[in-house]
A and B are shown apart, each in its own frame.
Chain A
Amino acid sequence: MGKINLDRADPDFRRELAKQPGGDKISACFTCRTCTASCPIAAVNDTFDPVKIIRMALYGLKEDVLKSDFIWLCSSCYTCQERCPQGVRITEFMTLLKNLAVKEGNMPTGIRAQQDLIKGEGRIYPIDDFDNKKRDKVGLPPIPTSCSVVKKLFPSE
């Protein structure tokens, strides 16, 4: 991202975020960059920068944040949140942004695949008879191959 275009800013975004868990403390950020300096993703990829994402959200750059690819690079390792001297719940904030991005239609295919498997099969690695054969061979008990309870937990999916 180059220059910030504040004409695109949505002044309500900050207030919208402040009402939700993870977004309620971001205005305490004083840009010390402890988060970015501690981030294992930022260390290998320069498109991911936690302090910049917090600033962008505070400036109201809603679309630039929620339509971005970079929010999905957060590994939710909690290093930033544990170290933030201002008590900003950065990992929870990143999770909030990802949840909001999904509502705007921004969802990586791998994340969608995981969600479909969980809501459809109850597991990210559904167990089949072949898995149970391998389990039996080494003396492990079988795991159920179907999971109907997710249909009750998520009836609208």
Chain B
Amino acid sequence: MKYAFYLGCTIPARSRNYELSARKVAEKLDIELVDVEGFVCCGFPMNASDLKAAGVMGAYNLALAERKNLDICVLCSSCASQLTEVAHDLSDDGPEREEVNKELARTGLKYSGGVRVKHFAHILLEEVGEEKIKEYFVRDLSDLRIAAHYGCHYLKPSEIYDDFDHVEDPKSIETLVALTGAKIVDYHGKKRCCGGPVLPVVEDVALAVAKEKLDDISKTDANAMCLVCPFCSVMYDDNQKGIESEYDTTYNLPVLYLTQVLGLAMGFDRKELGLNINVVKTKKLLAQYFEQ
């Protein structure tokens, strides 16, 4: 299993904990992740202002991977939907691809429609498989009670994702987390958006959306949240303190990446999984796993 490792913008700058833990889990499971130096933004944040330019950015990244004869592994859900959608639109040799290739010609690259894009979680379930993942677990996480957050672009638009998971009743993240022995906590509003894309427009609206989910989870007995997108994590982890002070409330809810949960079960230590980088402290929650 070998993939071009597409990090996007947010992960290398703001979510080194996600990148660290994903690299560890991939190495353990024998998924080879190849760093491609020329990757640029996927284009997703520019859809709202210049859809055509956003598509060209996406196609440029696909063309880079194609030149290396590799499919793409993505960690960020927005990058996953953007690159998957562009790959979907450009899979046929039609006028749309011809037009994009005219733009790419200035860079000396051409896209021929041959790249598949997969979110890391899709690779885990579809290519590695639940049984093989479990073989590498050395810690039992049954004291964790986890509320999963799927976010939007990990699942939608559903037509580009080939029935990987169900939009109205998603299971994939919980299936993977449950392998570790952790208890899955269902909650009202599980499918709600994090509000992230509105953050650069009107911050208080974005934070109000994120707050709804934190409120819903705090009504359950969950002691951590688990997610698969760095922008969702910005909303719930980086901005949790800000929401607490804005609304005069307290959540103190650790927000873990799926790869941190799996890596924990695989026996990696705190720093190897970047758990010390998480904004809401995880030390107390995970103390039992790291005692000498």
Residue ID in chain B nearest A97 by CB atoms = B48
**Residues of chain A with a CB closer than 8 A to B10's CB:** 124-125
B291 within 8 A of A: no
A36–B205 Cα gap in the complex (Å)?
A: 16
Distance from A134 Cβ to chain B, minimum over Cβ atoms (Å): 7
Is A4 interfacial (CB 8 A cutoff)? no
Interface residues on A, range: 35 or more
Q: Is the CB of B158 within 8 A of A153?
A: no
- The reply to whether B12 and A102 form a contact with Cβ atoms under 8 Å apart is no
* Residue contact B157 to A114, C-beta cutoff 8 Å: no
A48: nearest chain-B partner, CB-CB: B205
CA distance A135 to B12 in the complex (A): 8
- Stretch with Cβ within 8 A of B (4 or more), from A27-35, A57-65, A68-76: A68-76
**Judging by beta carbons under 8 Å apart, are B9 and A108 in contact?**
no
CA distance A81 to B85 in the complex (A): 15
Q: B208: nearest residue on chain A (CB-CB)?
A: A44
Any B CB within 8 A of the CB of A86:
no
A44 to B153, CA, bound (A): 21
Residues of A within 8 A of B209 (CB): 40-41, 43-44, 75
B156 interface residue (CB < 8 Å to A): yes
Known contacts A41-B205, A122-B40, A125-B10, A153 near B48 by CB under 8 Å: no
- Taken residue by residue from 111 to 150, chain A's Cβ proximity to chain B (1 for < 8 Å, 0 otherwise) reads as 1111100110011110100010011001111011001011
- Give every chain A residue within 8 A of B9 (Cβ-Cβ): 123-125
- Within the complex, the shortest CB–CB distance from B263 to chain A, in Å, comes to 14
In whole angstroms, what is the CA distance A154 to B54 when docked? Answer: 11
A96-B49 Cα distance, complex, nearest whole Å = 9
Q: How far is the CA of A5 from the CA of B14 in the complex (A)?
A: 47
Asked whether A131 lies within 8 Å of B13 as measured between CB atoms, the reply is: yes
Query: Which residues of B does A touch, CB under 8 Å?
Result: 7, 9-10, 12-14, 16, 19-20, 23, 35, 37-38, 40-41, 43, 45-51, 53, 56-57, 60, 103-104, 106-107, 152-153, 156-158, 167-168, 191-193, 195-202, 205-206, 208-209, 212, 271, 274, 277
6 interchain residue pairs of minimum CB distance: A110-B200, A125-B13, A78-B156, A77-B193, A122-B40, A44-B208
Chain A: residues with CB nearer than 8 A to chain B?
40-41, 43-45, 72-79, 81-82, 91, 95-96, 98-99, 102, 107-108, 110-115, 118-119, 122-125, 127, 131, 134-135, 138-141, 143-144, 147, 149-150, 152-155
